[in-house]
Structure 1
Amino acid sequence: MSNDKKQLLFGLTTTPKSNWRDKVAEIKELGLKEIALLPTCLSYEERQDLYKLLETSGVVNIPYVHLRQDFFSEELDYLMERFKTKIFSCHANPEHLVLLDSLARYASLIYVENGDLRKDLFFNKDTFTKHQAIGVCLDLAHYQNTKDTDKPGYRRLLSVLADLPIGVNHISGYKHDIFNALIGKRGDSHWISSLKDLEYLKTVPLNYFSKYIVLEVENSLLEQQEIMKYLKLILANIL
């Protein structure tokens, strides 16, 4: 798939180091009309506050939303109607698999993310079959970390990727460090401190890049603009 057919999306993250209220204010300041939403750390009540702010932010489209275990079907309906959301993702832990089953009528829209496969033992082909998951949300920094530090997990990941489509990518930073890799220390990070943290993308197989490519970083949206410029340059050279 050529680069011009891909949708690169700024990510509104909600982890403790990412002030989501400030990010909504940035959306207004920067005039952004399209973002991805990752309300990973927000309760149901907090998400309602976020949606109210987004409704007056100028955002028109939120093509992709990452789910957490306490989402309800009405929430997905709202996002699809109000912000034209097209796809979702969730993790492969037991709580999210219960969620996936409860949202069975949306199965064709929900992709399962690869996390730390030393812990996410449910990320396997049997899980995708049992829970009727359509495909993979491939976090490329997690992918690189698994490749460098977890051989059994990497084989399991490759087995899944050989049989299932990739619907969306998460892009975070990855710091290559040979010593850390040898001791199994993670190199992936949701904070990009240098554009060099994106260099790992140059070695990712081309068929692992999907239509939707989402920045999952804690950096401000202003900083994400610079990150996005470099990401587009990398993709232009490899796709």
Structure 2
Amino acid sequence: MKRIILLGLTTTPKSDWRAKVEEIKKFNIKEVALFLTFIDQKRRKELYILLEDSPLKSVPHVHIKDDMEEWEIDYLINKYGVKVFNTHIDRDYERYLKMRNLKDKLYIENCERVDEDFEKAVKKSAGICFDVAHFHDIGLKIGLYPHLPALMEKYKVGCCHVSAIRDGVFYKWVNPLTKKEYQLCDYHYLEDLSELDYVVNYLKYLPKYVSIELENSFAEQLRAKEYLEKIINNIA
């Protein structure tokens, strides 16, 4: 299966999403993944308006925010043909499952825990959103959920996120559930293309849609996409 690698319009504090809209115009970008996780409804409305005045035609994957309303979901599906959405287990996912257009499109992302509650949420929803960097770092390196691959064999993986792994460059992370401190090396900013090399270890689990979750500009993400095409789709 050839994977579709999507540029990521991220909205984290270090990601200039307004500038990314301008890059959509500059590079005539037709398709992206949309990460709405850090902006409130007022700013989301601004983003929707800005995107309507751009060449963007398709948004196959959306990472939703926990305060989104049903009209937003319907708008994104009708306007951009969204195929898959994802959220976290701790983000009131059950409220989204009640939305008529969302239940069969909503996937649960692996974050700090993959436990009985995670599997319960996956069963109720469409399946798993595979965050590759989270699994590489939190799931395997510090060993919080090495069993995730078994669940990905059992349930559908509908979308995934790819970020940077900077081996040997750590930051402190405190598990919100256990309050235990760990050293992590997954980042949402890419400094070198080699920070994507780890993805080769997880090719068998990648679904149709592979979304780049980086704060980098689209100019830089386009280079990352080209690099990932070689790793994932063997395109030289």
Q: TM-score, normalised by structure 1?
A: 0.87
For residue 107 of structure 2, give the secondary structure of its aligned residue in structure 1: strand
Please tell me whether residue 57 in structure 1 is matched to residue 54 in structure 2.
yes
Match of 2:120 among 120, 126, 132: 126
Q: Distance in 2 between matches of 1:190 and 1:162?
A: 27
Report the equivalent of 1:201: 199
Deviation digits for residues 96-138 of structure 1 (CA, Å, limit 9, x no counterpart): 3243344365211111111122xx7575212323xx1111110
Match of 1:69 among 66, 70, 88: 66
1:172-211 pair list within 5 angstroms = 172-177=163-168, 184-204=182-202, 206-211=203-208
Report the equivalent of 1:215: 212
Please tell me whether residue 24 in structure 1 is matched to residue 21 in structure 2.
yes
Give the C-alpha shift of residue 167 in structure 1.
0.4
Asked if the contact 2:131–2:161 (Cα under 8 Å) also holds between the matched residues in 1, the reply is yes
Please tell me whether residue 116 in structure 1 is matched to residue 116 in structure 2.
no
Q: Distance in 2 between matches of 1:82 and 1:166?
A: 24
For residue 213 of structure 1, give the secondary structure of its aligned residue in structure 2: strand
Quote the sequence identity (%): 32
Q: TM-score, normalised by structure 2?
A: 0.88
For residue 203 of structure 1, give the secondary structure of its aligned residue in structure 2: helix
Deviation digits for residues 55-106 of structure 1 (CA, Å, limit 9, x no counterpart): 001101111111111111111111111111111111111x332433443652
Q: Distance in 2 between matches of 1:31 and 1:178?
A: 35
Change (3 A) 1:57 1:7: same
> Over aligned residue pairs, what C-alpha RMSD do you find?
2.3
Q: Which runs of 5+ in 2 are unaligned?
A: 172-180
Letter in 1 for 2:146: Y
User: Which structure: greater strand fraction?
Assistant: 2
Report the equivalent of 1:167: 158
For residue 81 of structure 1, give the secondary structure of its aligned residue in structure 2: helix
Give the C-alpha shift of residue 54 in structure 1.
0.1
1:76-95 pair list within 5 angstroms = 76-93=73-90, 95=91
Change (3 A) 1:91 1:122: farther
Q: Distance in 2 between matches of 1:52 and 1:144?
A: 36
Matched length = 227
